[in-house]
Amino acid sequence: MWSRDLDVLVPMWQGADDLRVREGPAALAALTAPGTRRVTVPVPAGGSEREGGVRHRAAVVDAYRAHRDVLARHRPQRLLTFGGDCAVEVASVAHLAGRYAHRLFVLWIDAHGDLNTPASSPSATAHGMPLRLLLDDGAQGALPASRCLSPGQVALVGVRDLDPAEVEYVHRHDLTVVDAPTLGAQPTRLVALPPPGAAVYVHLDLDVLDPSALPAVAVPTPGGVTAAALARSLIALRAHHEVIGVGITEYVPQLAHDRRALIEVLDALGLTDAHA
């Protein structure tokens, strides 16, 4: 079992503008063994007006502040986050960056880059902006300033659907990218990405899985990895590196699906009793 100080459930949907994902955190929690503490972050029930090029910005900011306050109160050193949409990761990663500084290395395992800004985003949804918020000030209009990572502290894994501005950002900053076919063919590729001594945060948007394995996600994207390949990657990662945080997002449990793929991945992360 992966040991951590705090589990936070953040049922925010406004960042994706998709009510369905608010059911994801509770459903994920029901499938996993709890850590030392389990807390549900109070988030707004409704949406808000589009502001500064971001849908539901006021609601997203309110949820971020509530999440940040919970983390400041409990001060976890090892953290599990169940979202909601991917924008919940801003508070979690920023909190751990405050503890681990340059040791922190983030594996952004996701079909999407989440590197947009309010100006570049085709959808104006905050869940397409969290990694950019963590890397620089370009997306600052979506949330309060959250920059805490350098490009060398991040790798994009399983990515296969980038907007043009995201492609330009990846190239300009020379971000490490391991696409879905590479991960599928080389499941232990994750092990080589964090430097020795890194404190690793695993962001896992479940849309990294191919829809044939898990269609119950907010933005299903063809060309993803199998559950078996992802599980092998995560088991190898945990065997070679210190994982200090995991965030799992964008699950839509009310859609028809076979939960075995999801449980295989949760097992690999040490969130059930199957893999200690």
% of the chain surpassing 90 pLDDT:
94
**Domain parsing of the chain, residue ranges:** 6-268
* pLDDT level of residue 140 (50, 70, 90 thresholds): confident
pLDDT mean across residues, the chain: 95
The mean-pLDDT minimum among 96-110, 132-146, 194-208 falls in 132-146
173-196 residues labelled b (16+ CB within 10 A) or e (exposed): eebebbebeebbeebebbeebbee
Q: What is the average per-residue pLDDT within 42-57?
A: 95
pTM, two decimals, is: 0.97
With bands split at pLDDT 50, 70 and 90, how would you rate the model's confidence at 275? Answer: very low
Q: Which CATH superfamily is domain 6-268 in?
A: Ureohydrolase domain (3.40.800.10)
Distance between CA atoms of residues 121 and 115, nearest Å = 9
Partners of 9 in the β-ladder: 40, 82
Find all residues with CB under 8 Å of 15, minimum gap 6, and list them.
56, 60, 63, 84, 85, 86, 87, 88, 125, 126, 127, 130
| Adjacency order of strands within the sheet including 38-40 | 38-40, 6-10, 79-83, 242-249, 199-205, 104-109, 154-159, 176-179
Q: What pLDDT is recorded for position 274?
A: 55
> Which of 80-84, 125-129, 144-148, 242-246 shows the lowest per-residue confidence on average (mean pLDDT)?
144-148
Mean pLDDT of 263-275: 87
Helices (DSSP H) in 106-254: which residue ranges?
A: 130-135, 164-173, 180-185, 227-240
